[in-house]
Chains A and B, each alone.
Chain A
Amino acid sequence: MSEKGISTLGREGLILRLKEAQSKFGYVPQEVMAELAQSLEIPINEVYGVASFYSFLSTRPLGRNVIRICRSLPCYLKGAQTVIEAVEKELGIKPGETTPDGRFSFQLANCIGLCDQAPAMLINQDAHVELTPEKITQILRMYK
């Protein structure tokens, strides 16, 4: 590793540090990006470029709980659309939005690897499978 020197090592850890900020604040605040840019001696636009590239990082505040419904083909074939509509109806928000009380952010994900029990979603790190519109109310109630 010595050949790469200290600064490269730090640069390598940028995504990890952004993820840490994400889990601490629920998003990556601009001040954190500025701090990281300064300590790594790279332009802030480079930090923003990385933060805005990955779907698990958000540059805007997210809700306390993040719902990620799989929109990929196996889930789609098994009726994911009706589940998406049920969440929209229950929370009154569309994919990409956050409830005004900050309780939920709602996103669509590309395959979460639970195709065997489609349709599936993640809420934070919990997997919920074989979803139906009826199950949604009950599942959402578990997250405060």
Chain B
Amino acid sequence: MNFTQIKNRAIAEWEAQRKSDKPHILVGSATCGRAAGAGPVLEAIKATLAQHNLEATITQVGCIGLCYAEPLVDIVKPGRPRISYGNVTPEIIPQLIEDYLIHDNPRADLALGTLGEGDIEGIPKLFELPMLKPQVRIALRNCGIIDPENINQYIANGGYSGLERALSLSPEAVIEEIKKSGLRGRGGAGFPTGLKWEFCRKSPGTIKYIICNADEGDPGAFMDRSLLEGDPHAVLEGMLIGAYAIGATEGYIYVRAEYPLAIQRLKLALQQMAEYGLLGDNILGSNLSLHLKIKEGAGAFVCGEETAMMASIEGKRGMPRSRPPFPAQSGLWGKPTNINNVETWANVSAIMQRGADWYSSYGSEKSKGTKTFALAGKINRTGLIEVPMGISLEKIVYDIGGGIPGGKRFKAVQTGGPSGGCLPASQLNLPVDYESLTAAGSIMGSGGMVVMDEDTCIVDVARYFLSFTQAESCGKCVPCRLGTKQMLDMLENICRGQGKPEDIDLLLELSQRVKAGSLCALGGTAPNPVLTTIRYFREEYEAHIKEKRCPALACTELISYYILPDKCQGCGICLRDCPAEAIAGGKRMVHVIDQDKCIKCGTCLDVCPERFGAVVKVSGEEIEVPKEPVPVAAAKPNTQA
């Protein structure tokens, strides 16, 4: 079978399903869906269908990005738009299926929205909702829409037509097309992809390698996992195009060991490609030959750095080396090598399918196209999003993310993981593109966006990131290994109230040294979280150092709990629940916390009945309370006398 025949068959299969007179049920079965309970939901669907003797096609799809509403189930009845239902439980399934499939009640009360042509009364269109309306889905075009384990569904939706188009052009013309699209590396650094390919193509040598970097490790980032689980072929098609443009014949996909489902879906995808002649020698009858292998990581964050990754693929300790030589000149086993991130590869296939002009119509002047972000932390709608470059942070946090839970105040958003920075409310109007984020002291990074509210201590966040880079430093170069350790020690002291006035300047100085002296980007960017937090939240550092006060009331060693004598009713609940036996009291006695015994766990504050509200948490101040328990009445001379 040639590719045209394969394509025609795939399209016929897709159309047959679309026009089928059987209902179609789609279950979100990426890791996020599974973890939220998609498995039992799927079983409940099968059992209910069997019970009513109903026939339906069931497909397990990837993540559409609404992770906060997982498990997601979509139902398509013949001739009707697809309805997405969120937070579905196995208990609700029998009723939902009976109501919609048998009694034709679409249960608008359970629905999130509809997809596709047509309307259903009482249910909004999914992509008109605030969280989806600003989104443009290019890399994630098929996630949640097609069955990631069925190559035909990818092909029926334009898949591998980008490869076909590339093969009809010269490799140089493909590189020109990618250059024209303005695509820049989505792993974080933002190097122009076409240029990177050109360097590798022009490097002398007959054996060249391409690598897909799927060692996503930034805390708060899960875009690559979702993409590999939801549409592996979009990434693999990109790699074929890249191999053709560069002249590579061997390739690796380096996936972190923490992503077993992504690995499983990639393995299956490679097998399907081989069956269709999309892998191996003379792909689709052309002179392109590419052999791809999956390399599983073994748990080391630094392997996301390209020279460390190559060492790991060679079976060595994943330690970076100095550049030059760059991988394009001397990479894997000393051969010219090109490494791109998962999302970059998925954009490549889209660009070749739909053209550079179409792609570059999205985005800002210097940052073209879209970027995926993982929204996490203190935000109402956590999930995976894809937005055109240049969109404001505010739109992402408030429109798409739905703002901060519990009516709390926004404090900062962290972009770029341990290499990035924390941006405060004053930067919310910042357009999200490479240049603007860098100018603000952060970076685009791979796409993690962690939102923090007023209860988050910014010094503690900086301390957290340094503890991360400290733990993940491979130890090869001194500035990173010891510099980050010094910085971490100072931040720990500040959080404990033992900071010295000169610490802030010393942190700034040390940051510059670590940045300048480190061998790779891990150390070179490790000080960024410290630098941006000092830049935007210096007063919070000063409060910790000068007043021994944590304004967010988060640093345990700087906070105290007190029981207010005029509010305590002597109920004894806090005394009973205190794990440290630090509370003294008695029936109808005002309870007292022994500050020396208190472990600052906050249990007393949590359990004190709301109507009393007698426990307070403070930092940097002392509250006048009795030393010993006193009768409740005695503590309230004004009201009880």
Contact = CB atoms under 8 A, between A and B. Distances in A.
Interface in B234-266: 250, 257-260
A76 B313 CA distance: 32
Contacts of A54: 297-300, 318
A129 interface: yes
B35 A110 contact: no
A87 interface: no
Most A-side CB within 10 Å, residue of B217, B318, B376: B376
A18 B378 CA distance: 39
A114 B31 contact: yes
Contacts of A57: 298-299
Contacts of A15: 296, 298, 312, 315
A128 interface: yes
A14 B301 CA distance: 19
Given A72-B220, A129-B36, A117 B318 contact: no
Given A54-B298, A55-B299, A56-B299, A113 B259 contact: yes
Contacts of B300: 53-55
A140 interface: no
A77 B317 contact: no
A116 B382 contact: yes
B14 interface: no
A130 B70 CA distance: 12
A114 B222 contact: yes
Interface in A56-77: 56-57, 72-74, 76-77
B464 interface: yes
Nearest to A57: B298
B376 A118 contact: yes
B36 A16 contact: no
A38 B36 CA distance: 46
A130 B504 CA distance: 36
Interface string A2-22: 011000100111111011000
Nearest to B70: A117
Contacts of B258: 109, 111-113, 122
B383 interface: yes
A60 B32 CA distance: 32
Contact of B468 (A72, A122, A130): A72
A84 to B, nearest CB: 13
Given A113-B216, A117-B36, A73 B465 contact: yes
Contacts of A4: 333
Contacts of A83: none
B293 to A, nearest CB: 10
A49 B317 contact: yes
Secondary structure at the A interface, as helix, strand, loop or mixed, is mixed
Contact of A53 (B296, B318, B377): B318
A129 B68 CA distance: 12
B338 to A, nearest CB: 18
B323 interface: no
A73 B35 contact: no
A116 B471 contact: no
A76 B448 CA distance: 15
A3 B315 CA distance: 17
Contacts of A74: 219-220, 376-377, 450
A1 interface: yes
Given A54-B300, A114-B35, A115-B376, A1 B382 contact: no
B211 to A, nearest CB: 14
B376 A116 contact: yes
Nearest to B453: A77
Contact of B461 (A18, A19, A73): A73
B221 interface: yes
Interface string A22-51: 000000000000000000000000000110
Most A-side CB within 10 Å, residue of B225, B259, B299, B383: B299
Most A-side CB within 10 Å, residue of B32, B297, B312, B465: B32
A112 B258 CA distance: 6
Contact of B378 (A14, A77, A113, A129): A77
11 contacts: A11-B314, A55-B298, A55-B299, A72-B219, A73-B450, A73-B461, A74-B220, A74-B376, A111-B219, A115-B448, A118-B382
> What are the 4 tightest A-B residue pairs by CB atom distance, in nearest-first order?
A72-B219, A54-B298, A55-B299, A116-B67
Given A109-B258, A116-B67, A116-B384, 15 more contacts: A4-B333, A16-B296, A49-B317, A54-B318, A55-B298, A56-B299, A72-B219, A72-B220, A111-B258, A113-B259, A114-B222, A115-B222, A115-B376, A117-B67, A130-B36
Interface of A: 1, 3-4, 8, 11-16, 18-19, 49-50, 53-57, 72-74, 76-78, 109-118, 120, 122, 125, 127-130
